[in-house]
Amino acid sequence: MAKNDLIAGSLWDEYSNKVQELMNNPKHQGEITPEDAESRGHKLIVADYGAESCGDAVRLYWEIDPETDKIVDAKFKSFGCGTAIASSDMMTELCIGKTVDEAVKITNIDVEKALRDDPDTPAVPPQKMHCSVMAYDVIKKAAGLYKGVDAESFEDEIIVCECARVSLGTIKEVIKLNDLKTVEEITDYTKAGGFCKSCIKPGGHEEREYYLVDILAETRREMEEEKMKEALEAADNGDFENMTLVGQIKAIDSIIDENVRQFLVMDGGNMEVVDIKKGDEYIDVYIRYLGACSGCASSTTGTLYAIESTLKEKLSPKIRVLPI
């Protein structure tokens, strides 16, 4: 099938080469019959799962060695879009060779990552991320059938969006992996909040323990803390001069926050880093005084000396602070 028969224009480029290949040439599509499994002394599990939100459905076949609980073979049938086929195929491949207990730990994030051509580029456009969620759910269904328990007994994460079955861990990881900044982006990537919308923010038809607005704010804060920690660790290792401009600014801000800013604020002032320019002899840090500091006589003497001395000690002796 030609590319243009599936997706027109540049949208095709949002799908990884692996996804494009598996859409048209899935490796594990098919079925395993009870007779085939029995002839090899194995147990056959057939699990069905359908996503009401998009109409896609998948049937998963597991051929399991009952002596080891290992999935010796697996097949699938998918009733849905090309992305559902690719996700189901990769999910099936990830199951083969694992025990049931190992397979049930496979998440939708694992499926999506395995479909990537490179670790940093999503395999599918955001509106198709939910296809890997469906693959994740059918695994739990199959494991429940094999063990004779409810599929939800395998759920060890908090489900934030019941409609799309998206967990707290998945939402936080997707935010971090794709640097998401809005609730709308979260919905695009995971489908969380795309249906009844009660999980977006308080005030919906159903009260929730976790809301997307709060998860986003908390995760963004964690991301900033992680970046700051990395910057400070780099500074501690003497790498300040080789940091990116953003890293240098964050490292300086962190040092100022810990050692200087509280004293400026107490006197009704503050400061901000405007720019950093690296020369052969100096690393010039341009700052702007704010509030009372902007007209204070010591802003070019004692205060400036304190700021510069602190940054020289903590980050680099080459730093020179210049107020503008």
Q: Is 160 helix (H, G, I), strand (E, B) or coil?
A: strand
Last residue of a domain, one of 156, 179, 196: 156
* Helical (H) or strand (E) element with 288: strand 283-291
Q: How far apart are CA 93 and CA 114, in angstroms?
A: 10
- List, in sequence order, every residue forming a beta bridge with 73; answer none if it has no partner: 63
Average of pLDDT values for 135-163? 82
* Helical (H) or strand (E) element with 264: helix 261-266
The reported pLDDT for the residue numbered 234 is 64
Both 152 and 52 in one domain: the answer is: yes
The reported pLDDT for the residue numbered 162 is 74
pLDDT tens-place string over residues 271-293: 999 999 988 899 999 999 999 99
Q: How confident is the model at residue 323 (pLDDT cuts 50, 70, 90)?
A: very high
What proportion of the chain, given as a percentage, has pLDDT over 70? 89
Q: How confident is the model at residue 8 (pLDDT cuts 50, 70, 90)?
A: very low
Ranges 2-16, 71-85, 87-101, 253-267: which has the least confidence: 2-16
Average of pLDDT values for 200-223? 90
For 196, which DSSP code?
S
Q: Is 296 a catalytic residue?
A: no
205 located within any domain: no
Q: Is 277 helix (H, G, I), strand (E, B) or coil?
A: strand
Last residue of a domain, one of 141, 156, 171: 156
**pLDDT at 78 > cutoff 70:** yes
CB 287 within 8 A of CB 323: yes
Q: How far apart are the first and last CA of the chain?
A: 62
Q: Which of 151, 166, 154, 155 is nearest to 210 (CA)?
A: 166
> The dihedral of CA 265, 271, 272, 273: what is its sign?
negative
**pLDDT at 298 > cutoff 70:** yes
**pLDDT at 23 > cutoff 60:** yes
Write down the residue that tokens 């600014």 correspond to: 249
Both 152 and 262 in one domain: the answer is: no
CB 293 within 8 A of CB 303: yes
The reported pLDDT for the residue numbered 272 is 93
Q: How confident is the model at residue 6 (pLDDT cuts 50, 70, 90)?
A: very low
Q: Hey, what are 149's tokens?
A: 């328990």
Say which CATH number the domain at 15 has.
3.90.1010.10
Last residue of a domain, one of 156, 180, 197: 156
Q: Is 95 a catalytic residue?
A: no
67 vs 56, higher pLDDT:
67
Average of pLDDT values for 74-80? 90
Ranges 222-226, 286-290, 301-305: which has the least confidence: 222-226
130 located within any domain: yes
179 located within any domain: no
CB 318 within 8 A of CB 282: yes
Catalytic residue among 131, 161, 199, 293: 131
Average of pLDDT values for 164-180? 87
At position 249, the amino acid (one-letter code) is I
The reported pLDDT for the residue numbered 35 is 96
Q: Please state, rounded to an integer, the average pLDDT across all residues of the chain.
A: 86
The reported pLDDT for the residue numbered 238 is 63
Both 118 and 263 in one domain: the answer is: no
Q: How confident is the model at residue 77 (pLDDT cuts 50, 70, 90)?
A: very high
State the residue range of the domain holding 99.
Answer: 3-156
CB 191 within 8 A of CB 129: yes
Ranges 51-60, 228-237, 258-267: which has the least confidence: 228-237
Radius of gyration of the chain (CA): 27
Both 146 and 267 in one domain: the answer is: no
Q: How confident is the model at residue 222 (pLDDT cuts 50, 70, 90)?
A: very high
Catalytic residue among 54, 95, 161, 199: 54
**pLDDT at 149 > cutoff 50:** yes
35 vs 53, higher pLDDT:
35
The reported pLDDT for the residue numbered 4 is 43
The reported pLDDT for the residue numbered 177 is 87
217 vs 170, higher pLDDT:
217
Q: How far apart are CA 95 and CA 44, in angstroms?
A: 14
83 vs 1, higher pLDDT:
83
Q: How confident is the model at residue 81 (pLDDT cuts 50, 70, 90)?
A: confident
Say which CATH number the domain at 273 has.
3.30.300.130
Both 27 and 146 in one domain: the answer is: yes
**pLDDT at 160 > cutoff 60:** yes
